[in-house]
Copies of this chain bind each other. A is one copy, B any other.
Amino acid sequence: MTTKRKPGRPRSVDSEEAILTATIDLMIEGGVRDMTMDAIATRAGVSKATLYKWWPSKLHLALDALLARGRIRAPVPDTGSALDDFILNAKGISRFYADPDIGPCIMQVWGECLTSPDMLAIYRERFLNPRRAGLHIIYNRGVARGDIDPRFGVELALDMIYGPFLFRLLTGHAPVDDEEIERIARVAFAGLAPS
């Protein structure tokens, strides 16, 4: 089986990396509003046409940069306790969202995605769903082990744990630290336990 290369000049890997780096850096420095396409192009040493060739809009580029550079640590451990697994996972996620550099960026990008259902769908697919795949594993183990009552369903179960602290991050009305994560998860778990 031979590797078939397409004709023509191949896409420049250097450019792509420079673009993603410039994007995330600008986003961290001055927020999504300062992250203009011109500024990205200039800093990456790239032409604006190249940006628009590979990303249909600023938001798509921001999402990609966030995924590529702001590595999310969402572990899917197997401690023997679904509760502990969830807590470890949620702590990882909250650390990502609460990171002083990345946190504001992701909030702003999330905010921008709220302007249209299409963008919101993209946000879900790229940010939420990949993380949720791991959570399904933890959930299923918890059900099998008898920790979680399967009648509630996986969506409800996950939202009971992740909804409260993500909601907090999106309004800032209360702190989100490891201790709070634990308390939230425990309350949710108590409610989700089989009767």
Contacts and interface: CB of A to CB of B under 8 A. Distances in A.
Contact of A163 (B165, B183, B189): B165
Contact of A159 (B32, B112, B167): B167
Interface string A105-149: 001101111111100110110001100100000000000000000
A33 interface: yes
B115 A170 contact: no
B115 A113 contact: no
Contacts of A167: 159, 162-164, 166-167, 170
A184 B159 contact: yes
Interface secondary structure of A, over-half rule:
helix
A160 interface: yes
A159 B164 CA distance: 5
Nearest to A127: B171
Interface string A78-117: 0000000000000000000000000000011011111111
25 contacts: A31-B115, A32-B115, A110-B111, A110-B170, A111-B115, A121-B172, A124-B173, A128-B173, A129-B173, A156-B164, A156-B183, A159-B164, A159-B167, A159-B168, A160-B164, A160-B191, A163-B165, A163-B166, A164-B164, A166-B167, A187-B191, A187-B192, A188-B188, A190-B190, A191-B192
Interface of A: 31-33, 107-108, 110-117, 120-121, 123-124, 128-129, 132, 152, 155-156, 159-160, 162-168, 170-174, 180, 183-184, 186-192
